[in-house]
Amino acid sequence: MNHSDNCITGQFRRKMLLGGLVAAASVLLRPDELLAAVTTPAAIPSNQVNLVDFGGVPGADPAAIISAFNQAFDRIKSLGGGKLNIAQGKYNFGNYSSAVNAIAVSDLKNVLISAYGAQLVMTTTATAMPVFMHFQNPTNVTIAGLSFYDFGTDLAVNWKGAICLSVTTSYRCSGFKTIDCTADNVVTFFRSYGNYTLTGCDISGTVKSSYYAVNPNYNGRFSKCNLICDRVRRGFIGYGARDWDITMSCNSASGVLGSNGFIDLVPDPSQPSENCTINLTVTGNTSPYGALVHFYHVHDATVAQYLRNVKANVILNNATGTATVFLFTHELSTGMLLRTLRTWEQVTLTGGVIGSYKGDIIRNPSVSIGTTNSILVSTNWSAYQDFGTLPSYFKTCTPSTRCGA
């Protein structure tokens, strides 16, 4: 197993705990209710609020900067929304040794945060995950042009570094968006919890030298991301991910830290993963990763659960290395299950290779004994692996017809 596999179990437990706390305060919405919540966003009011008017200027001490943000958010909330302008320059949030929220704002609605040329920085000084900005129950909030950097992040030490944007929801919210944002040397760019009460996320930007790019946990349905990832350990890991459109590029190099999966869809005993599309372009060396797309069942081996209706398209663009392109596993804290009740249903694997590739295309070390498995594999991959050794639920398809590509 990849060197980072051991840490995912501990992280999963932390996520389950926090996810349970959020779920206890919320009502699980029906799919039709969630889809109805994804509507055309309201117009941003014409109100203008400037961070500088509250003492938020580059070079100010951290306490003054954080106070300015809090005052600015209070002001724009009192106006019913509008545009918050953050002038270009570096804003130092200070040093952090615990998992606190530097900025925390609740019930923000109809706000555009315009921050082109602005960079928020902090220094994490202990094994902790402080948060630059935490949003509780945001609706129609866009962050444009903002950059993040943590001088204290150490990717060789699990959870030592900052989270850029954290969102939790306890009632129905829709529309959290990033445009042209950059995260560098952090633990996570975007993280969310909320028992599927947030819809319509749209996360775009560039993430560099970081652990996670996007990490939704039982939240964010009918959402999408479009990210450039450079030396990122996990591009997307979604616990109970549903209705996500995931578009990413992955560039890595030999010797940097990776993970057991660059993109992980993770059902668990209580929640399936379903209705996701993946479009991934890979360059550089894939060896830091166990897999590029990981269909990843975890925990209770006695509970039937499914991962369903996923279309994964991967283009290897002169990529080197040996990562498996598509990996299907069921893992417990005690190790890999060789046979599982869990299923992979209506999964389609398309894409291809520009150049050549030495890694496996598909591995399925946890063979499902369920009766509903169905995995279609494009014949584009046939030249790179003999699929006859795979379980019978793997079938080939022609891209122009049954693969739907």
**Per-residue pLDDT tens over the stretch 34-83:** 555 566 788 999 999 999 999 999 999 999 999 999 999 999 999 999 99
Rg of the chain (C-alpha set):
21
- Taking the model in full, what pTM does it have? 0.91
Domain ranges (residues) in the chain = 1-224, 233-405
Percent of the chain with pLDDT over 70: 89
Predicted confidence at residue 381, as pLDDT, reads 96
Could you tell me the two tokens for 224?
């999408």
**Per-residue pLDDT tens over the stretch 296-337:** 999 999 989 999 999 999 999 999 999 999 999 999 999 999
CB 70 within 8 A of CB 102: no
Instruction: Please provide the DSSP assignment of 324-346 as one string.
Output: EEEEEEEEETTEE-SEES-EEEE
Taking the C-alpha atoms of residue 72 and residue 51, their distance in angstroms, rounded to an integer, is 6
Going 357 to 355 to 258 to 393, the CA torsion angle's sign is: negative
Taking the C-alpha atoms of residue 5 and residue 52, their distance in angstroms, rounded to an integer, is 45
Question: In 10 A of CB 144, how many CB atoms?
Answer: 17
Taking the C-alpha atoms of residue 159 and residue 140, their distance in angstroms, rounded to an integer, is 30
Whether the pLDDT of residue 2 is over 70: the answer is no
Taking the C-alpha atoms of residue 201 and residue 179, their distance in angstroms, rounded to an integer, is 11
**Per-residue pLDDT tens over the stretch 143-168:** 999 999 999 999 999 899 999 999 99
